[in-house]
């Protein structure tokens, strides 16, 4: 009867990578009883000594590790060798190869991939938020948003929402139409979290006419008339003043420029907390 195999998974981060590797390797053998003991976030030499001491009392064990901190990796390797415990270093061969190819030194900072994953998922969450609460679809999102954009049609609300979402900012936007009351929730949002978007009426007239042509409609429609545009802009300006929110004129600005202004406003608001 085979003695139980005990595998020590040691990492200065979560240790999930090493555990998955050893599980995949073990699946290639009929090794019977096997126990995996994972030790994450190892950052002190004393922790390594305690694990090695525990391992010396096992009859059949091995160590698999992902350590990027050189001093800890050295101690673990030497201690395992001294006690004749088989130890497998997963990260070092790969890092060494990359170092030679890239002609650069590794950061030797644990948990970087996890930090990147967290940043990625925050971005995805912000993008999903922007899609869900675009164009006033669901007013419940207004109080959850980091920023709420308001403005009449063709003032770059959606492009700005998506651009800011890629900066991990949750944005909701509300179209302003004189005949359609804004949701009550907008008055419950702090004014500093609302950004009003306005534009030059002549520029907007050109944009709307082009939009109608793209849709195969007559550019003489009320949507693109100067009278209608001035009416909408006047209504929007009155509401923005009532809300007391900052207003940005987007008529001559690229989306990136407007987004940078919004992010600067957000930073100023944080500094005055």
List binding-site positions for ADP. 151-158
Binding residues: 151-158
Q: How far apart are CA 248 and CA 91, in angstroms?
A: 50
The 3-state secondary structure of 46-93 reads HHHHHHHHHHCCCCCEEEEEECCCHHHHHHHHHHHHHCCCEEEECHHH
As a whole number of angstroms, the longest Cα–Cα distance in the chain is 91
Q: Where are the alpha helices (DSSP H) in the chain?
A: 16-26, 45-55, 70-82, 91-102, 112-132, 157-165, 201-214, 226-243, 255-271
Element holding 10 (H helix, E strand): strand 5-11
Contact status, residue 99 vs residue 105, Cβ threshold 8 Å? yes
Q: How far apart are CA 44 and CA 101, in angstroms?
A: 31
């Amino acid at each position: 009867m085979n003695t139980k195999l005990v595998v020590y998974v040691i990492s200065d981060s979560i240790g999930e990578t090493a555990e998955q590797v050893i599980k995949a390797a073990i699946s290639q053998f009929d090794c019977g009883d096997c126990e995996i003991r994972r030790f994450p976030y190892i950052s002190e030499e004393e922790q390594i000594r305690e694990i090695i001491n525990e391992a010396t009392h096992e009859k059949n064990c091995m160590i698999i590790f992902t350590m990027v901190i050189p001093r800890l990796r050295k101690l673990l390797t030497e201690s395992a060798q001294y006690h004749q415990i088989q130890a497998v270093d997963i990260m070092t061969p790969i890092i060494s190869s990359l170092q030679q190819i890239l002609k650069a030194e590794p950061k030797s900072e644990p948990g970087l991939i996890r930090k990147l994953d967290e940043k990625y998922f925050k971005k995805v969450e912000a993008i999903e938020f922007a899609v869900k609460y675009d164009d006033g679809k669901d007013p419940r999102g207004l109080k959850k948003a980091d920023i709420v954009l308001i403005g009449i049609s063709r003032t770059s609300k959606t492009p700005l929402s998506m651009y800011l979402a890629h900066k991990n900012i949750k944005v909701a936007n509300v179209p302003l139409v004189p005949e359609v009351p804004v949701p009550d929730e907008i008055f419950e949002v702090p004014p500093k979290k609302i950004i009003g978007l306005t534009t030059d009426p002549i520029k907007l007239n050109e944009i709307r006419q082009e939009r109608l042509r793209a849709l195969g409609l007559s550019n003489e429609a009320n949507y693109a008339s100067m009278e209608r545009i001035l009416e909408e802009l006047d209504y929007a300006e009155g509401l923005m003043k009532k809300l007391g929110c900052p207003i940005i004129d987007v008529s001559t600005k690229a989306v990136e420029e407007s987004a940078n202004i919004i992010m600067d406003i957000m930073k100023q608001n944080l500094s005055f907390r």
